[in-house]
Amino acid sequence: MSARITRLAGIKTPDSAPIFEIRARRHRPGDTEIEVWHMPSLASPQVKAPMRLAGLRGRNLELIEHRVLRRLSQAGVKLSGREADRKEGHRVTEDLALTLGLMFRALAPMRSRDNMRAVAEGIEAMGREEAAYWLGMAMHRRNPRRVLTALRFLLTDPKAR
């Protein structure tokens, strides 16, 4: 019995997890753009070329940048503004990519600071399955703006209006 276990322990399985990257680009001082990309892998054969999931730039990113950088630093990703790092992506886990992708998509058109804070906190509190559900709905539905609007309505306080 132990010979079978040692034989199986030596077998390497392929890395079949989806691959996600975070790309940060600094356009000017104080103007940074962060994007989430889905890379081709064995786990996602339908992705033939890198596919952009979401991105955020400008005022909306500045309002939640501390949250994003905290999550990235917990994952071991340090973003730098050097010129050489412009085209280089940082690999992240699927959970982090789902959360950031959904957050970027939901916050991109928003203007109210209070509502943006509420939506960001709600998305950070979501579990992996819930974030994957909402991001999948936002990416693959005929009207993704309706899905994101529904998510924003669910996560904001109606009494604050």
Q: Which two tokens stand for residue 149?
A: 């609007």
How large is the angle between the packed helices 113-125 and 94-107, nearest 10 degrees? Answer: 160
Looking at the predicted structure, is the pLDDT value of residue 160 above 60?
yes
Q: Residues 65-120: pLDDT tens digits?
A: 999 999 999 998 887 666 444 556 899 999 999 999 999 999 999 999 999 999 99
> The whole model's pTM is what?
0.82
**Do residues 151 and 115 lie in contact, with contact meaning Cβ atoms separated by under 8 Å?**
no
Q: What is the pLDDT of residue 87?
A: 58
Over pLDDT 90: what percentage of the chain?
A: 61
Instruction: Give residue-wise pLDDT tens across range 17-35.
Output: 888 999 998 888 878 899 9
> Residue with structure tokens 């982090």?
96
Q: What is the mean pLDDT of the chain?
A: 85
pLDDT value of residue 84: 43
CA proximity to 138, closest of 58, 130, 93, 23: 130
Integer Cα distance of 52 and 104 in angstroms: 12
Rounded alpha-carbon distances, angstroms, from residue 140 to 53, 143, 146: 11, 9, 12
pLDDT above 80 for 161: no
CA end-to-end span of the chain: 67
**In this model, does residue 154 exceed pLDDT 80?**
yes
More confident position, 50 or 9: 50
When mean pLDDT is compared across 85-94, 124-133, 144-153, the lowest value belongs to 85-94
